[in-house]
Amino acid sequence: MPELQRLRLDHGPALLAFEKENRAYFAASIPDRGDDYFARFDERHTALLAEQAAGVCHFHVLVDNGGRVVGRVNLIDVVDRSADLGYRIANSAAGQGLATQAVHQVCTLASTEYGLTTLRAATTLDNAASQAVLTRTGFVPVGETVLDGRPGLQYERHLEPTAHAALDSDI
């Protein structure tokens, strides 16, 4: 089973390979990142790590035994103990329960390590797999939205605060 790891600088080459190999697969259900993302990947990767260090975002990758990235799960726009959840799993690893497992793990980290109490997510209406992951991991639909011109649903999950996270927030 792949291991969930907090994003580091040395993940860069494997993460770029993951994004390139799965670009068309991802673009079928979510907006494409565009050519500039790939042309400026190293710069973008460094910027993400700076955002993570500042506590604005928390980025994670799923790494298999061979060091290959097979997924990512991110918490972005951390404000007022809440964040937006996003995730993507490689085409070759889809349908194996990795997204559900990784989202569960990140929800736990969000509460225990990052002190978050609410997570939001959104998916298009035609992305049944993503809807299933969100439902299985405790998210509930809270409204409609439009993603890249396509109708979608917004989801939310309230997290149980932990003693560790509560102590951190009082500092």
Residues 110 and 75: beta-carbon distance below 8 Å? yes
Decide: helix, strand or coil at residue 25: helix
The closest alpha carbon to 94, from 142, 50, 128, 60, belongs to: 128
**Integer Cα distance of 101 and 22 in angstroms:** 20
Instruction: Return mean pLDDT, the chain.
Output: 92
> 3-169: what CATH class?
alpha beta
Give DSSP secondary structure letters for 26-76.
Answer: HHTTS----HHHHHTHHHHHHHHHHHHHTTS-EEEEEE-TTS-EEEEEEEE
**pTM exceeds 0.85, yes or no:** yes
**45: which residues sit within 8 A by CB, 6+ positions away?**
9, 12, 15, 16
Tokens of 157: 């999950």
Please provide residue 67's backbone torsions phi and psi, each rounded to the nearest 5 degrees: 85, 5
- Asked whether residue 14 carries a pLDDT value surpassing 60, the answer given is yes
pLDDT, one tens digit per residue, over 79-118 is 999 999 999 999 999 999 999 999 999 999 999 999 999 9
pLDDT, one tens digit per residue, over 48-70 is 999 999 999 999 999 999 999 99
Q: How confident is the model at residue 32 (pLDDT cuts 50, 70, 90)?
A: confident
Tokens of 57: 């975002």
- The residue ranges of every structural domain in the chain are 3-169
- What pLDDT does 161 receive? 72
